[in-house]
Amino acid sequence: MNRSEFVDSVARRSGIPQAQFEVLTRTTLQTLAERLTAGEAKDLGEQLPAELGTTCVRPRGAQSRSGRRSSSSASARNPGRG
């Protein structure tokens, strides 16, 4: 699914005009990414169209607002995850 198809599909379902939807989507993704580990945010971004997926990228080693570190330290603690 490309960006246009994603935006059209979700905007249609939500009833929000497409112009507003774009801003709301990016804000929601940025907020969500801040609360995930860097690895989780990267995984989320890879499931989205490229133009929206980059919204989820955080610098490696950056700490999320939840206090969790990036995927590299999470992987060391939880070897089947991250």
pLDDT over 70 percentage in the chain: 70
pLDDT of 73 strictly over 70: no
Q: What is the pLDDT of residue 63?
A: 59
Mean pLDDT of 52-57: 84
What phi and psi values does residue 61 have, to the nearest 5 degrees?
A: 90, -10
pLDDT of 76 strictly over 70: no
pLDDT band at 43 (very low <50, low <70, confident <90, very high): very high
Mean pLDDT of 49-55: 86
pLDDT of 77 strictly over 50: no
Average pLDDT across the chain, whole number: 76
Residues 6+ apart with CB under 8 A from 54: 45
